[in-house]
Structure 1
Amino acid sequence: MTENLTHRQKMLTFAGILLAMFLGSLDQTIVSTALPRIVADLNGLDRFTWVATAYLVASTALVPIYGKLADTYSRRKIEVVAVCIFLVGSMLCGLAGEFGDLPLLGDGMTQLVVFRAIQGFGGAGLFAMAFIIIADLFPPAERGRYQGFTGAVFGTSSVLGPFLGGFLTDQGTNWIPGVAGWRLVFYVNLPLGLLALWFILTQMPALRPRTEPKPLDYFSALLLLTGLGPLVVALQLNKTNYPWTSPLTLGLLAVAAVSLALFVVRSLRHENPILDFGLFRNNVFRTANGALFLLGGAFLGIIIFEPLFMVNVLGVSATKAGVSLIPLSMGVVLGSLLAGQMVSRFGNYKYWMIGGLIVLLGGLSLLATMPATVSYRQILTYLFLCGIGLGPTMPLYTLAIQNAIEPHLMGQATSASQFFRQIGGAITASVLGAILTFTLAHSLPASATPVTPTAQKTVVSEGPALPANATSPAMREAFSTAISRVYLFNIFLVVGGLLMTLLVPELPLRKTNAPGSAPAPPAE
C-alpha cells in the first residue's frame, strides 16, 4: 500500500501520526492538575473523578472497534474521523458551563463529563491508529526504530501533561481576559490537532484495506461497548463508597460479564467479527498480549503510587512529587528509542524484551525495599532504572505481534495489543488500590484517617490537607509499608510478564508488508 511513497512522504505522515498520538496521550494526564479549579468553577466536587473516568472508559472501549474499522476502510479516513472527534470533544470541554445548564446535559460539570467521553471516543483512535499506520509505512525489519518514538512520545506526555495543565490553569487567565485558565487545557488541543490534521490530509496516503471490505457488525460493537464500559467504570469506582460487594459494583460487573460473554459467542459465529478470535491461535499474539496485560498494570502502578510515597513518607510537596516522575519518563524514552534502534539494526527483539524486564525487576526490587528514610535522589535513580526497563515494552511487543500477523488483520491485531495494555492497567490499578487500603487499615495509628484509592490520585494532583499526624513517624512508616507491598505485587506482575515473554517465539523480522509474508510461528 505504501511501496510508491517517498521517504519524505512517509516521514511527514509519521510526524502527523505522532503529533495526534501525543495529543491523545497528553489528555490522559493534563486535566489532573486543573481539576481543583474546574471543580471550584463548575461546583462539581461530587463528580470530579468522572472527568478522568469518562475519558478512560471511552478511550479503552473503542480501541478494538477502531482496529476493525482500520481493516475495513481507508486508514486515512479513520484517522481523520478520530482526530475530528477528538478536536470537537476538546472544544466542547472548553465550553462546558459557559452557557449555563443545557437540556439533557444538565449543569457545567455534567457537560464536562459527557464531553470528556466524546474526547475519549476520538482519543481511542489516536492511540490505535498510530501503531496501525506505522505498520503500513514501514516493514517489520525497519519498524522498530520508528515505533521506538511512540514510546518516547508516551513517556514524555505522561510527565508533561500535569505540568502543562497546571501552568495553563494558573497563567492562562492572564493571556485571555475573561477566560478561565483551565479552559485552555482543552483549547490547547485545537491548534496542535489542526496541525496534525493538515499533515494527515496532505501527506498521508489513503492506505485502503487489502481485502474487500465487509459491513461492520454493529451488534457486536454494541455488545463490546456495553461490556467494557461497565467493567472499567466498576474498576474505577471509589471502593470506600462502593465496595466490591455493593449493589452498584456487582451490577456493573454482572452487565459486563453478560455482555462480554455474548460478544465472544457472537464473534465466534459471525463471518466478519470485530475481533477475529482465530488470532489467539497464533502463539506470538497470545503470549505477547498476555505479557502486555501484566506489564500495563506494572507501569501504571509505578506512576500512581510513587508520588504518594513522596508526599506521605518523605513529606515533599505535590509539585516536587510530580517532578520526581521525570527520571522515569526519561528512562522510558531512552529505553524505547534504544531498543527500537537496536532491533532494527540487529533483529532479535526477544532479547531486548527480556533484558528490559530484568532491569525493571531490579528497579522495582529497590522500590519495594525502600525504608522510610530513603533519600529523594535515591528514588529518582530507582525510577530511572525502572524507566529504562519499561522502555522496550512500548514498541517491541506490538512489533512482535505485527510481524507474526498477516497484513489484512493488522488493524485488529495491533489494536488488541493496545487494548490489553490499557485494560490490564485499569484492573491492576484497582487491585493495587485495594492492597494499599487494606495494608493502611492495619498499619495506621487508630487516630489517623486512611487515604483511599481515589484519594491517592488526588494527593499528588491537588495536594489536599493530610491528617494532622501525617508526618509522624508512625504515619510515615505505615505508608512506607503499604506502598512497599504495592511494589511487591508489581514485582509479581513483572515476573509473570517475563514468564509470558519467555514463551513468545522469536521470528525473523519481515522485510516487506506483502500479503502472505508473515512467518509461520513454530508448531505448538
Structure 2
Amino acid sequence: MLTFAGILLAMFLGSLDQTIVSTALPRIVADLHGLDRFTWVATAYLVASTTLVPIYGKLADTYSRRTIEVTAVCIFLTGSMLCGLAGEFGTLPILGDGMSQLIIFRGIQGVGGAGLFALAFIIIADLFPPSERGKYQGFTGAVFGTSSVLGPFMGGLLTDHGTNLIPGVAGWRLVFYVNLPLGALALWFILTQMPALRPRGGRKHLDYPSALLLIGGLVPLMIALQLNKAVYGWLSPVTLTFLAVSLVALSLFVVRSLGCENPVLHFGLFKNRVFRSANVALFLLGGAFLGIVIFEPLFMVNVVGVSATRAGVSLIPLSLGVVLGSMIAGQMVSRFGHYKYWMLGGGLVVMASLSFLATMPLDVSYHQVLLYLGLCGIGLGPIMPLYTLAIQNSIEPQFLGQATSASQFFRQIGGAISAAVLGTVLTASLAQVLPPSEISSPTASPTAHSEVRSAISEGPTVPTSPTTNSPEVRAAFSHAISRIYFCTIFLVAAGWIATLFVPELPLRKSHMVRHPALVELKPGTRS
C-alpha cells in the first residue's frame, strides 16, 4: 500500500502539471515575451509525453519497474526545475531566449511525464491481481479528477500570490517548483517501499532501430496535428510534409517490428481480441473525452456569457463525476467480476449526456450545463480504467508493460487526432456565419486551433472576462459547438460498438495463472 501511495503521488504530479500551467501562461508570456510561441509550451510537453509512452512500456518489460519509475520521476523533476529557471540567466547559447528555454525544458518534463502515466498502471498491475485490481485502479480516476480541479486553482494562486511566499521569485515559477517537494516525497516512497518488480520471462535488450523509427514517426505526426490549421491547413506543404515523413517512418517501424526478435511493440498482441477491440474503443473514447473538455469552456464563455473563472469551475462536476464513476465501478468489478457491463453502461450514459449537450438552446442555464457535465463524468468514470484492466487480464505477464502502455498511447493519440479534427470543424462552422475578425477576437474566442493545442496538454484556455457577444455571435458559437458534440456522440457510439467485440474473460486471481483463451506469445520469437 505504501508503494501504491508513492505511485499515485507520482501520477498526481504528472496529472497536476497538465492543468496547473494553464492559468500561469498569460504571466509567463508577459515575462518571457513569447506570445508568438506560447502554444509550443503545451505542444512540447504533449509531443514528448505521447511519443514515449510505448517506449516506457517496453522498458518496463525489460528492466526493473522500480528503476524505470525512479528514472521517470527524476527526469520529470529535472524538467520542472529547469522550467522554473527558464529565462533567469538571459539568452543562452543553443537554448536561446527565455521562451525557447521554457519550450525545451517542457519537452524534458514531457519525457518524464510519459513514464509517470505509463508506469502507474503497469506497477498497479504488478501489485494486485486482476480480481482485486479494479478497486485500486478506481483511485487513479480520483487522482485525475482531483488534479484537474486543483490544477487551475493552484496555478492561479501561485501565479498571483507566489511572490509573497518567496520574495524575488516570480509567482509563475512556483508553478514548476511546487513539483519538487511533492516529487521528493514520491521518490522516498518508491525507493524505500517499492520492490524491484523485475520483468518476467527473462531480459531482452530493446531493439533501438524500431524505437528510433517509432519516435521518428510519432514526432512529426504530433507536430502536424498541433500546427495552427488557420496558418498551416491540412493540405499545406508543411503539414503534408510532416504527415508524409510520419507515414514513411511508421511504415518502416512496422516492417522492422515484424522482422526483429524484440520489438518495442510485439505485433502478435493484436491477435488477442481483447487487446485489439479495447484499443480501438480507447482510441475513439479518448477523442470523445477531449472533445468534451476542450470545447465546453468555449460554450460557457461565448454563449452563456460567464467569466473565465466560472467557465473553469463548470468542469468540476465533470471531474467529480469521473471520480464517482471510477470508484463505484472499480469496487463493483472487484466484488462481482463483470467489467463489460460497466463499460457498455458508461458509454450509454455518455451518449445520453452528450445528446443533452448537443441540443442546448441559447438560453440554457449555467446549472443545466453543470448537470449534463456531471452525468457525462459519471459515464466516463468506469471507461478508461476498465479497458486497461480488461487488456491486462487478457495478456501474459511478460507482455504487461507493452500492452498497458499501448492502451495509454491509443487513448492519447486518439485524443490528439480528434482535437485537431474537431478544431477544424469549429473553425469551418464559425467561418460560415462570422467574419474572420469575430472568430479570432479576444472577446469571442482565441483562435480555435490555439485553443485545441493548449487545451490538450494544459487544460482549456478561455478569455479572461465575461463576453458581451452579439446574438449573432452567440448563435454561431452555439451552432458550431453543438455540431462538435454531435460528432462526439458518433465517436462514443463507435467506441461502444467496438466494446461489444471485447470478450469478457474471468478475472484472474493470480498474476501467473493463464486463462485458456489467451494467445500465447513467447518473448524472443518473431512477431
Q: TM-score, normalised by structure 1?
A: 0.95
Q: Which residue of 2 aligns with 1:493?
A: 491
Output the CA distance in 1 between the equivalents of 2:427 and 2:465: 18
Native 8 Å contact 1:505 1:522 kept in 2? no
2:461 alignment partner AA: S
Q: Which residue of 1 aligns with 2:136?
A: 146
Q: SS at 1:211's partner residue? A: coil
Write out per-residue CA displacement over residues 169-200 of structure 1, whole angstroms, 9 at most, x where no aligned residue: 11101111110000000000000001000000
Output the CA distance in 1 between the equivalents of 2:314 and 2:193: 39
Query: 1:504 aligned to 2:499?
Result: no
Q: 1:287 aligns with which of 277, 297, 309?
A: 277
Native 8 Å contact 2:395 2:518 kept in 1? no
| Cα distance, 1:320 vs structure 2 | 0.5
RMSD between aligned residues: 1.6
Q: Which residue of 1 aligns with 2:479?
A: 481
Q: Which residue of 1 aligns with 2:525?
A: none
Query: 1:334 aligned to 2:324?
Result: yes
Query: 1:456 aligned to 2:451?
Result: yes
Output the CA distance in 2 between the equivalents of 1:252 and 1:522: 36
Native 8 Å contact 1:275 1:412 kept in 2? yes
Native 8 Å contact 2:124 2:137 kept in 1? yes
Q: 2:195 aligns with which of 205, 210, 214?
A: 205
Q: Which residue of 2 aligns with 1:256?
A: 246
Q: 1:244 aligns with which of 225, 231, 234?
A: 234
Write out per-residue CA displacement over residues 305-350 of structure 1, whole angstroms, 9 at most, x where no aligned residue: 0000000001100010000000000000000000000000001100
Output the CA distance in 2 between the equivalents of 1:356 and 1:466: 34
Query: 1:307 aligned to 2:293?
Result: no
Output the CA distance in 2 between the equivalents of 1:146 and 1:466: 41
Q: SS at 1:297's partner residue? A: helix
Write out per-residue CA displacement over residues 2-32 of structure 1, whole angstroms, 9 at most, x where no aligned residue: xxxxxxxxx0000000000011111112111
Native 8 Å contact 2:54 2:264 kept in 1? yes
Distance 1:370 1:462, change over 3 A: closer
Q: Which residue of 2 aligns with 1:471?
A: 469
Q: SS at 1:256's partner residue? A: helix
Native 8 Å contact 2:395 2:519 kept in 1? no
Output the CA distance in 2 between the equivalents of 1:455 and 1:461: 9
Q: SS at 1:27's partner residue? A: helix
Query: 1:75 aligned to 2:65?
Result: yes
Question: 4+ residue runs of structure 1 moved beyond 6 angstroms?
Answer: none
Q: Which residue of 1 aligns with 2:517?
A: 520
Q: Which residue of 1 aligns with 2:215?
A: 225
Q: TM-score, normalised by structure 2?
A: 0.94
Native 8 Å contact 1:70 1:78 kept in 2? yes
Output the CA distance in 1 between the equivalents of 2:472 and 2:466: 14
Native 8 Å contact 2:297 2:462 kept in 1? no
Distance 1:371 1:445, change over 3 A: farther
| Cα distance, 1:465 vs structure 2 | 7.5
Q: Which residue of 1 aligns with 2:360?
A: 370
Output the CA distance in 1 between the equivalents of 2:234 and 2:515: 44
Output the CA distance in 1 between the equivalents of 2:220 and 2:233: 15
Distance 1:186 1:124, change over 3 A: same
| Cα distance, 1:447 vs structure 2 | 6.8
| Cα distance, 1:218 vs structure 2 | 1.1
| Cα distance, 1:522 vs structure 2 | 9.8
| Cα distance, 1:454 vs structure 2 | 2.8
2:490 alignment partner AA: F
| Cα distance, 1:378 vs structure 2 | 0.2
Output the CA distance in 2 between the equivalents of 1:200 and 1:125: 14
| Cα distance, 1:455 vs structure 2 | 4.3
Output the CA distance in 1 between the equivalents of 2:318 and 2:193: 34
Q: SS at 1:448's partner residue? A: helix
Distance 1:257 1:522, change over 3 A: closer
Output the CA distance in 2 between the equivalents of 1:335 and 1:55: 28
Output the CA distance in 1 between the equivalents of 2:148 and 2:474: 27
Q: Which residue of 2 aligns with 1:29?
A: 19
Write out per-residue CA displacement over residues 336-369 of structure 1, whole angstroms, 9 at most, x where no aligned residue: 0000000000011000000111111111000000
1:56 alignment partner AA: L
Output the CA distance in 2 between the equivalents of 1:92 and 1:338: 40
Output the CA distance in 1 between the equivalents of 2:329 and 2:6: 23
Write out per-residue CA displacement over residues 250-295 of structure 1, whole angstroms, 9 at most, x where no aligned residue: 1111111111111111000010000000000000000000000000
Query: 1:347 aligned to 2:344?
Result: no
Q: Which residue of 2 aligns with 1:417?
A: 407
Q: Superposition pairs for residues 162-181 of structure 1, below 5 Å? A: 162-181=152-171
Moved more, 437-446 or 363-372: 437-446
Gaps of at least 5 residues in structure 1 are 1-10
Query: 1:444 aligned to 2:439?
Result: no
| Cα distance, 1:519 vs structure 2 | 4.3
| Cα distance, 1:481 vs structure 2 | 0.3
Query: 1:15 aligned to 2:12?
Result: no
Distance 1:480 1:138, change over 3 A: same
| Cα distance, 1:518 vs structure 2 | 3.7
Q: Which residue of 1 aligns with 2:114?
A: 124
| Cα distance, 1:394 vs structure 2 | 2.1
2:21 alignment partner AA: V
Output the CA distance in 2 between the equivalents of 1:497 and 1:245: 28
Q: Superposition pairs for residues 419-438 of structure 1, below 5 Å? A: 419-438=409-428
Output the CA distance in 2 between the equivalents of 1:522 and 1:57: 32
Write out per-residue CA displacement over residues 106-126 of structure 1, whole angstroms, 9 at most, x where no aligned residue: 001000000000000000000
Q: Share of identical aligned residues, percent?
A: 75
Native 8 Å contact 2:283 2:413 kept in 1? yes
| Cα distance, 1:462 vs structure 2 | 5.4
